[in-house]
Amino acid sequence: MTTTLPAYDEVVARYEPVIGLETHVELGTNTKMFCGCPTDFGGEPNTRVCPVCLGLPGSLPVANKAAIEATIRIGLALNCSIAQWCRFARKNYFYPDMPKDFQISQYDEPLCSEGYLDVEVGGELVRIGIERVHLEEDTGKTLHVGGATGRIHGATESLVDYNRAGIALVEIVTKPVPGTGALAPEVARAYVTELRDVLRSLGVSDVRMEEGSLRCDVNTSLNLPGEEWGTRTETKNVNSLRSVERAVRSEMLRQASVLDAGGRIIQETRHFQEDTGETRPGRSKETATDYRYFPEPDLVPLAPDTAWVAELKAALPELPRLHRRRLQEQWGLSDLDMQSVLNAGAVELIEQTVAAGATPAAARKWWLGELSRRANETGVELADIGATPAQVAELQVLVDAGKLNDKLARTVLEGVVAGEGSPTEIMTNRGLEVVSDTGALTAAVDEAIAANPDIADKIRSGKVAAAGALVGAVMKTTRGQADAKTVRELVLERLGAQG
């Protein structure tokens, strides 16, 4: 598309967007969905496989109870009703990364359905309807080599790795979300963010978008006010929270430009391009796919016990949104302050630092100050900076005990981030402890006085403000390891002046 895109403000003034999201979550179960193979990320290709996940003739699936439990918990956290009886279904299509040439999934009988998730956008709550949450198995990964594009077209060889085949996958599908107007991209992002936090709080997945354990397809359509919803497109390859927002926005702009030119939107799958921020059409399907779904005869129906479901419901953790509200109150933060904590991705870090003994103010100071600055500089997530909440809490203990001043603490923190050990170890090893031996300090003060007789005279004559110069000199000779306040008191005392 070479036409220039219309301005976003104009688009949302003319059209109303409807969005919808399909999210796939790889569950963090120890074993695969239908066999006992391990699920950890990585590993040599085709080493985490067995007759079942390779679909060898004669093999049979056995459903993983931990995965069913995790799916029910997700459904409950998303306010869904849990089916009292449902079945797996086979989705039939030929593809080499599908060992059986069918995927065990769920079709018209999902385990969880009809729920919702409330998300906060600009201080307002938006309720996103959840259509269904169902359980299925992941496919393997195909690598096309020899071609220019990495796609199957033009490749000379295709290699398949089945390590991922059969990993338990949960699909969460929203209902269409109309009425969000200009906020549609932000709502999409807020939903995926909130969903990720919910999944993390449940402990069911490591929800890493970059490793593919959380994958998102974004549906977008535009319609004129008062008219029927438009034709939607499905955008795949959306691999970060930021991309979710960008993908919706870019698809809104593209569709508007097509519609403005009198064109028609084709129902198709598009791929988000991380570099340009645009979507491109996927390979068009020549024929409509008929998956010939039918109930999986190798598995018995799922009939979760009502009492068990009630138990799982009672044991659900607090929703992240409510949890954050509670923390905000406990920490005494304004909405604006809380927002900056959220933006920095520091909620859990601060929470854990407080749990490790620091005050909320101190914890927030370190995570949002020095550590956020370093994370920004090095381009890593705050959680991956290399300092743990326990270490930050320990650092603060040293500061509170007067063993470190602010400047020394920053130096120690640098060492922590560099992996040199615990704050106490670094302080000791690098000899960074505040000099609290008054004998040694007095000597240093006397030395400074002797070296600066003019300044000493001024102070003696009452110009107390000049003391700063002598304090600076003492700090220099002690390499910053003295407590500035103590030094100042000593200077004034030795010169007989009043502070």
Partner 1 sequence: MSDLTRMTATEIAGLVAGGETSAVEVTRAHLDRIAAVDDRVHAFLHVDSEGALAAAREVDDRRAAGEELGPLAGVPVAVKDVLTTKGVPTTVGSRILEGWRPPYDSTIVQRLRAAGTVMLGKTNMDEFAMGSSTEYSAYGPSHNPWDLARIPGGSGGGSAAALAAYEAPLAIGSDTGGSIRQPGAVTGTVGAKPTYGGTSRYGLVAFSSSLDTPGPCARTVLDAALLHQVIGGHDPRDSTSIPQPVPDVVAAARLGATGDLTGVRLGIVSELVGEGAEPGVMAAFRESVDALAKLGAEIVEVSCPNFRYALPAYYLIAPSECSSNLARFDGVRFGLRVGDDGNRSLEEVMSLTREAGFGPEVKRRIMLGTYALSSGYYEAYYGQAQKVRTLITRDFTAAFDRVDALISPTTPFVAFPIGSRTSDPYQMYLADLYTIPTNLYGGPGISVPCGLSEGLPVGLQIMAPTMADDRMYRVAAALESAVGTFTPPAL
Q: Which is nearer to partner 1, 62 or 380 (CB)?
A: 62
Question: Comparing C-alpha atoms, which of 284, 287, 174, 275 is closest to residue 220?
Answer: 174
- Measured from the CB atom, is 56 or 303 closer to partner 1? 56
Question: What sign does the CA torsion over 90, 94, 95, 100 have?
Answer: positive
Q: Is 379 an interacting residue with respect to partner 1 (CB under 8 A)? A: no
> Does 63 participate in binding partner 1 (rule CB under 8 A)?
yes
Which one, 88 or 367, has the nearer CB to partner 1?
A: 88
> Which of 63/182 has CB closer to partner 1?
63
User: Which tokens in the block code for residue 13?
Assistant: 């003034």
Cβ(135)–Cβ(71) below 8 Å: yes
Nearer to partner 1, 101 or 311 (CB): 101
Binder of partner 1 out of 14, 45, 54, 212 (CB under 8 A): 54
In the complex with partner 1, the residue whose CB is nearer, 286 or 377, is 286
Q: How far apart are CA 487 and CA 471, in angstroms?
A: 6
- Nearest Cα to Cα of residue 481 among 412, 380, 388, 420: 412
Determine if 108 is a binding residue for partner 1 (CB under 8 A).
no
147 binds partner 1 (CB under 8 A): no
Which of 294, 460, 462, 468 touches partner 1 by CB under 8 A?
294
Nearer CB in complex with partner 1: 53/404:
53
Based on the shown chain and the rule CB under 8 A, indicate whether residue 299 belongs to the binding site for partner 1: yes
Give the up-direction half-sphere exposure of residue 303: CA atoms within 13 A in the CB hemisphere. Answer: 3
Q: Is 159 in the site for partner 1 (CB under 8 A)?
A: no
Distance CA 151, CA 158 (A): 9
Cβ atoms within 10 Å of 160's Cβ, excluding its own: 17
Please report whether residue 57 would count as binding partner 1 according to CB under 8 A: yes
Does 156 bind partner 1 (CB under 8 A)? Our answer is yes
Nearest-approach distance from CB 55 to partner 1, in angstroms: 5
Binds partner 1 (CB under 8 A): choice among 5, 45, 59, 69: 59
Q: Does 101 bind partner 1 (CB under 8 A)?
A: yes
Q: Is 160 in the site for partner 1 (CB under 8 A)?
A: yes
Asked if 92 touches partner 1 (CB under 8 A), the answer is: yes
Q: How far is the CB of 400 from partner 1 (least distance, A)?
A: 57
State in Å, rounded, how far the first CA of the chain is from the last one.
74
Interface segment toward partner 1; rule CB under 8 A; list 53-61, 122-130, 340-348, 362-370: 53-61
Distance from C-alpha of 61 to C-alpha of 37, rounded to nearest angstrom = 12
**If 0-12 CB within 10 Å is exposed, 13-18 middle and 19+ buried, where does residue 70 land?**
buried
What residues pair up with 102 in beta bridges, in sequence order? 92
- Exactly one of 90, 254, 364, 458 binds partner 1 (CB under 8 A); which one? 90
Tokens of 390: 């326990």
Nearest approach, Cβ of residue 108 and partner 1 (Å) = 11
Pick the binder of partner 1 from 152, 266, 303, 380 (CB under 8 A).
Answer: 152
Query: Would you say 302 and 69 are in contact if contact means Cβ atoms under 8 Å apart?
Result: no
Q: Which residue type sits at 393?
A: A
Instruction: Give the amino acid at 60.
Output: L
β-partners of residue 294 are 90
CA distance 419 to 399: 20
Q: Which of 292, 326, 460, 463 binds partner 1 (CB under 8 A)?
A: 292
Is 58 a binding residue for partner 1 by CB under 8 A? The answer is yes
Beta-carbon contacts of 155 under 8 Å, excluding residues fewer than 6 positions away, are 144, 145, 146, 147
Rule CB under 8 A: say whether 62 interacts with partner 1. Answer: yes
Minimum gap (Å) between residue 54 Cβ and partner 1: 6
Is 298 an interacting residue with respect to partner 1 (CB under 8 A)? yes
At 308, list the tokens. 């068990």
Residue 100 within binding range of partner 1, rule CB under 8 A: yes
Distances (CA, A) of 181 to 8, 188, 270, 423: 11, 12, 22, 50
Q: Tell me the C-alpha distance between 489 and 491, whole Å.
A: 6
* Greatest Cα-to-Cα distance within the chain, rounded to the nearest angstrom: 100
Which H helix or E strand runs over 412? Answer: helix 406-417
Task: Count the residues of the shown chain that bind partner 1, applying the rule CB under 8 A.
Answer: 31
The span from the CA of 482 to the CA of 434, in Å, is 5
Q: Which of 6, 20, 28, 55 binds partner 1 (CB under 8 A)?
A: 55
The least distance separating partner 1 from the CB of residue 152, rounded to whole angstroms, comes to 7
Q: How far is the CB of 312 from partner 1 (least distance, A)?
A: 22
410 in Cβ contact with 439 (< 8 Å): no
Which CB, 107 or 191, lies closer to partner 1? 107
Within residues 264-283, the interface with partner 1 by CB under 8 A covers none
Minimum gap (Å) between residue 61 Cβ and partner 1: 7
Residues that bind partner 1 (CB under 8 A): 51, 54-63, 90, 92, 94, 96, 99-102, 152, 156, 158, 160, 290, 292-294, 297-300
